Structure 1
């Protein structure tokens, strides 16, 4: 009804009606890449120091993008994303 491309609902009865507009729905996509792709713990070229211990260092890239389902696009739209990553926490 409001032209945003998302289904709206109207419920009517004796002497009255209610209109319910659906809120925007967004799909969030995430991708994670590693460099190097494979880790050999015996190779010294990836060694570094982390908290005073020798470690194997890996560069990780996170990419997030989202898609809003309505037809009304806002070029200035933004989303706050908070995430926590834990890899081999028990090692």
Structure 2
């Protein structure tokens, strides 16, 4: 997963400097965040979310950020119901 994370983060960084590509940054950061979640390290995803906010200050106000933060919290709390609800809510508006 680490290589995928690096690729998605690099694409996001490069996209920020292009007016046409900057609207896709949140999707790239979401994909990088999902890869972080797959690693199973909640501290790593928390640190990654902080880096993503530094990279793109608007990211913290997006649904993608909220999804990653809420899923990380559900994993940390080992709350399957919360995890399911968060993913279901996001998926109802934007299919994963």
Higher strand share: 1
Higher helix share: 2
Q: Same fold (TM over 0.5)?
A: no
- Bin for the TM-score computed over the shorter chain: under 0.3
Give me the TM-score of the superposition, normalised by structure 2: 0.25
